[in-house]
Chains A and B, each alone.
Chain A
Amino acid sequence: MYIAGIAAVLVTMALTLARAFMGPTVYDRILAVNSFGTKTVLIIALYGYFTGRPDFLDIALVYALINFIGTIAVLKFFEYGDLGRDRPSQPDDI
């Protein structure tokens, strides 16, 4: 059953990767990369239970956190062009 789950997740990973490469806008690519990271979390957890090592859940948690932070960083860079900015300079940004 774990093998079937891993195969299904692999297929969806290939599909999201295709969207990341083909995506017409940058937001398609960001969404595809984010969901690719989510599927990586799933496959790490599935593989951990498949090989009988539930310790892999720790790695899956770390991957989820890093994926979240990375997506926020990429989104902020494309929105503001600057990772360290703290307040909008134009008044209509608020």
Chain B
Amino acid sequence: MRHHLVLRVIAKLLIPLILLFALYVQFHGDFGPGGGFQAGVIFGSAFILYGLIFGANTARRVATPEVVRVLAACGVLLYAGVGVVAILRGGNYLQYRVLAATATGGEHLGIFLIEFGVGLTVAMIMIGLFYCFTGYRPSDHNNGTHPHDA
């Protein structure tokens, strides 16, 4: 994809906007449509677009598979950690209202952290799935012939 000038320029224009929109969906999810899962998918799709346009190996240098794996686990850890902290503060598992001084503040903080963990894990899993798909080389099996017409 070295010579597709239009695609490269449009992708460079769109990728920051996609990342910004993912953050908007993530942090505005309490008031509008959205939430952690959707934001994670949008965030991951920005990296997938980068990998499609500039090559998966370039994307692997930006977000290395090791970092992707560790961050995906960190999201689950954050989710579970919020629940354990709620237990340690004298509530039930994932009972948000004990997390802060006031019940409303605790619910805000808890949902914010939980959604962030979900978004982080989903984004990293989406990028990891893209890496898995691009690791497959069909040219190893049929000598590089491409299906042009179905």
Contact = CB atoms under 8 A, between A and B. Distances in A.
B21 A72 contact: no
Interface in B21-55: 21, 25, 32-34, 38, 42, 45, 48-49, 51-55
Contacts of B146: 78-81
Interface in B100-150: 130, 133-135, 137-139, 144-150
Interface residues of B, number: 38
B94 to A, nearest CB: 27
Contacts of A56: 33
A86 B45 contact: no
Interface of B: 1-3, 7, 14, 18, 21, 25, 32-34, 38, 42, 45, 48-49, 51-58, 130, 133-135, 137-139, 144-150
Interface of A: 25-26, 29, 55-56, 58-59, 61-62, 65-66, 68-69, 72-73, 76, 78-88, 93-94
